[in-house]
Amino acid sequence: MKITSAAILSFLLTTFMILATYPTIALSETQTTTILRIIPQSIIDPTKDVGSTVIFNSTVYNVTNLWNWQVKIFFNPQVLYCTRAWIPSDSPFAFPVAPEPVIDNDNGYVLIGASKLGATPGVSGSGTLACLEFNVLKRGTSFINYSRPYGEDTRLRDNKMNIIEPVTLEDGFFSNWVPPPPAKLYINPPRLVDPTKTPCNEFNVNVTITNATSLYKWQLSLLFLKDIISVSNVIEGSFLKSGGSTNFTYTVSSHNTTHTLLTMNCEITSGVEVSGSGNLATVVFHVENLGETPITIINDVLFDQAGNSLPHNTFNGFFSNILKAIIAVDPPEIFDPSLVPCSTFSINITIDDVDGLKKCQFNLTYNSITLSFVGVVFYTVQNQAPSVKIIQDDEAGYLWIRLTYPKNITTFEPIPLVHIVFHVNAFGTSPLNLTDTQMTDYVGQPIAHEAHHGYFASVIRDIAIIEVKTSSTWAYPGWIVQINVTVKNEGDLTETFNVKAFYDTTLIGVLRIENLPPNETSTVTFYWNTKEATPCRFYAILAEAGPVPFETDLTDNTLGGGNVKIRLMGDIDDNGIIDMTDIGIACLAFGSTPSHPRWNPNVDVNQDGKIDLEDLGLIAMNFGKKC
């Protein structure tokens, strides 16, 4: 005998009427909030390049007696271009009166709605109101937001044209933005030591940027000692102006009893983003007293036209009109993942701000486990070759050198004296410290000076996925499976990298972890919409992180998260067939909500938080299907 879906539904209706009158299982009605939600609630996918298409749906949940509706949805027109908006023909809310949607790509919104006619009842339930298709114009981010307040441009009405309340609005979000490489933001010159800059003199510094990408707006403050210098003038640089018209402002204020704060803002008002290197601003300082002061950059932010915060590294400045010689290791820091054991690198020992140097002596110490000495070269300085005394002990880890020049050496900019080559013995770190430093002039008098040390690190770069966890081991087609991926930075540097999730070999999405410190973990969450998955089979969940540059251990960059089975819609007991057992289990749960003892989440096939005829109908439609 053939059993039809209609017969099953008739049977179910009869059963439900009996259940409703049975006192031991009667349920009290509960008020459910109506929700207007953008679906998907977020698309964060760097693979959505220019020209890609994305679709967002406006969906209503738990509405009662809906007869007339309208939604106004805003988006970022600099990132997205709405190509069309429509009401799905199979939507329960595809009412007969539906004016042509209004799409405004200049101001970034879509207005769409529909209404029933005559003395007809409204429609209750959940479903899609409208679909919005967008073309990606550029990389960036975009809100997908309902207009507010609810009841004005976005509203739901019943068959008496009363606004349905309360309604919760849940917006969406789109991002395909990939942060560019960090720019360098610095004071130029970074160090100004000039004994001629006495009180009442002036000097200039530039706020300079290099390797900028898509800069549209910037803001920063300079902090300095008010007793040493003050601001005479601030002039906008040429870099941002190369993109078009700009608005540049600055203010000078007292930060506290000792420091002054100069705050600068600049934004392109008409034009295009700027990339490359150049001058953001020139600051003219007036010298108030003898002394020294850092010129520190604080509160610094860079933005592109879409409002994305651009990564950058900041380097401060320094001013002094008191001459003090410097002997330094150059470069002061070496962090290079390519410097693995058996490789070599070199440093210079430099001097600066020296007047009348005759002799220079220093002892350079290092970690002999990490480094070993290879060789040394002595520079000719101002056409003078020094006489040299050298003591080197590789086991103890030091190199002692004394240089004597035929004539005096005077310089107010860095010049190298010695070039030293090291061999990397092992992964690790080593201070490069200058001790026992001496500088003397032509009569043997000591020259006051500072010693600036160095540092070497043969760093390890390594990230590892340590856990992949799914919210469920099974799902019906169209359900969302949440996948949490936890990654640990097992290296020595702060890392930024992408994490991918797959079901079998199909990509679920790409998420970015930024600035993860060493030995720290971060968890990202993927939302797998299983509508494209084939029922009656298991899918292997896999996560992949990085790799980061110079990473050598890739064995822990991927990790499985077990299997997720996709069941037939309504196969409640998971036996591969939808039969009366499934129907009976559904009947027992009919009318329940999560707080009720008869609640069965496996029966809530549309995931609306209640088990009603819509769930039973979906199950009954698949009656007799099997894997």
Segment 451-488, tens digit of pLDDT? 999 999 887 889 999 999 999 999 999 999 999 999 99
Q: How far apart are CA 558 and CA 549, in angstroms?
A: 16
What are 531-585's pLDDT values in tens digits?
A: 999 999 999 999 999 998 777 789 999 999 999 999 999 999 999 988 777 877 8
Stretch 65-83: mean pLDDT, rounded? 94
Domains, the chain, with CATH or none? 5-28+570-621 (1.10.1330.10), 34-175 (2.60.40.680), 183-320 (2.60.40.680), 325-458 (2.60.40.680), 463-566 (2.60.40.10)
When pLDDT is cut at 50, 70 and 90, the band that residue 525 belongs to is very high
Sheet of 371-378: strand order equals 371-378, 415-424, 344-352, 325-330, 449-452
> Rounded to whole angstroms, how far apart are CA atoms 596 and 586?
14
Among 80-84, 97-101, 221-225, the minimum mean pLDDT is found in 97-101
d(CA 373, CA 399): 8
The bridge status of strand 463-470 relative to strand 480-489 is: antiparallel
Question: In a 3-state reduction of DSSP, which class is residue 573?
Answer: coil
Query: Is the per-residue pLDDT at 41 higher than 70?
Result: yes
116 vs 368: which has the higher pLDDT: 368
Task: Provide the 3-class DSSP secondary structure of residue 587.
Answer: helix
Residue 8: how many other CB atoms lie within 10 Å:
19
Contact between residue 415 and residue 353 where contact means Cβ atoms under 8 Å apart = no
pLDDT > 90? residue 299: yes
**Statement: residue 64 has pLDDT above 80:** yes
B/e letters for 266-297, b = 16+ CB within 10 Å, e = fewer, are bbbeeeebbeeebbbbbbebebeeeeebbbeb
Is residue 564 within 8 Å of residue 482, measured between CB atoms? no
Q: What's the number of CA atoms in the CB half-sphere (13 Å) around residue 289?
A: 7
β-partners of residue 475 are 566
Q: What share of the chain is helix, strand, coil (3-state, %, to 5)?
A: 5, 55, 40
Query: Per-residue pLDDT for 161 more than 50?
Result: yes
Which amino acid belongs to residue 7? A
pLDDT at 404 over 60: yes
Query: Among the listed ranges 56-60, 136-140, 358-362, 419-423, which one has the minimum average pLDDT value?
Result: 136-140
Structure tokens at 258: 């000792």
pLDDT tens digits, 168-222:
999 999 999 888 888 999 999 998 988 889 999 999 999 999 999 999 999 999 9
Residue 118 pLDDT: 67
Q: How far is CA 220 from the centre of its chain?
A: 21
What pLDDT digit, counting tens, does each position of 371-400 carry?
Answer: 999 999 999 999 999 999 999 999 999 999
Share of the chain above pLDDT 70, in %: 95
The whole-angstrom separation of Cα 467 and Cα 463 is 13
Which of 11-20, 21-30, 533-542 is predicted most confidently?
Answer: 533-542
* Closest of 455, 594, 471 to residue 530, by C-alpha: 471
Region 443-457: what's the mean pLDDT?
Answer: 92
The pairing of beta strand 274-287 with beta strand 244-254: unpaired
- Residues 6 or more apart whose Cβ sits within 8 Å of residue 222: 187, 207, 261, 262, 264, 283, 295, 296, 297, 298
- Stated length of the chain: 627
What is the mean predicted confidence (pLDDT) over 41-54?
A: 91
Higher per-residue confidence, 543 vs 592: 543
Which residue bears the tokens 């600055």? 250
Question: Tell me, what DSSP letter sits at residue 24?
Answer: G
Does the pLDDT of residue 22 top 50, yes or no? no
* 501 pLDDT more than 50: yes
Task: Write the pLDDT tens digit of every residue in 94-129.
Answer: 998 787 888 999 999 999 988 887 678 999 999 999
Cα angle: 70, vertex 151, 117; to 5 degrees: 40
On average, the pLDDT of the chain sits at 90
Whole-number Cα distances in Å, 451 to 296, 377, 389, 441, 446: 22, 20, 20, 17, 14
